[in-house]
Amino acid sequence: MYNHKPKNYTCPFCELAKGRETPQNKREDIVYQDSETMVFLAPTWWENNSSHIIVVPKEHGENIYDISETLLCSVYGVVKRVAKATRAIATGQGTSVYQHNEPAGGQDVWHFHVNLFSEYTSDSLKKDKRTYVQQVKENLSKE
Ligand SMILES: [Zn+2]
């Protein structure tokens, strides 16, 4: 419903969920995954902000109109866990969550995804992506 993906589109998020690296993401960018969801760092779309994390359902659905309510709840349950894990890191001061649908809504990858940004008073952590990923993984494992 209300789909905009071009013909022959290779979905980068489905590729990553299948364990294949993409020009945008390496396997080491994956912070967390379970049977329904995957969480990974978005290193190229917002190049200078390592706190940009993406949460996706592993099952392909282009946007909020396509995804089931059950899966939507699972994705947002993980979004909450990641928000808590990132908020617990040193200088975290808050979290912003964005979810875009269709071109007019700002969507540019045709797989439902939630963008999560940690807001910091200091930019020091944003300069070391691997340290940030490791801290998020550690905090997620404590729950
Ligand atoms: Zn996909």
Three-class HEC string of the chain: CCCCCCCCCCCHHHHHHCCCCCCCCCHHHEEEECCCEEEEECCCCCCCCCCEEEEEECCCCCCCCCCCHHHHHHHHHHHHHHHHHHHCCCCEEEEEEECCCCHHHCCCCCCCCEEEEEEECCCHHHHCHHHHHHHHHHHHHCC
Q: What is the CATH number of the domain that holds 68?
A: 3.30.428.10
pLDDT at 131: 77
Higher confidence at residue 1 or residue 4? Answer: 4
71 in a domain, yes or no?
A: yes
4 in a domain, yes or no?
A: no
Domain count, the chain: 1
136 in a domain, yes or no?
A: yes
Which residues have beta carbons under 5 A from ligand 1 (an ion)? 11, 13-14, 60, 111
pLDDT at 14: 97
6 in a domain, yes or no?
A: no
What pTM, to 2 d.p., does this model score? 0.88
Residue 11 C-alpha to ligand 1 middle, in angstroms?
5
3 in a domain, yes or no?
A: no
Structural domain containing residue 17:
12-141
69 in a domain, yes or no?
A: yes
Tell me: the pLDDT tens digits for 23-72? 888 898 999 999 999 999 886 655 556 678 999 999 999 999 999 999 99
55 in a domain, yes or no?
A: yes
Tell me: the pLDDT tens digits for 93-119? 788 899 999 999 999 999 999 999 887
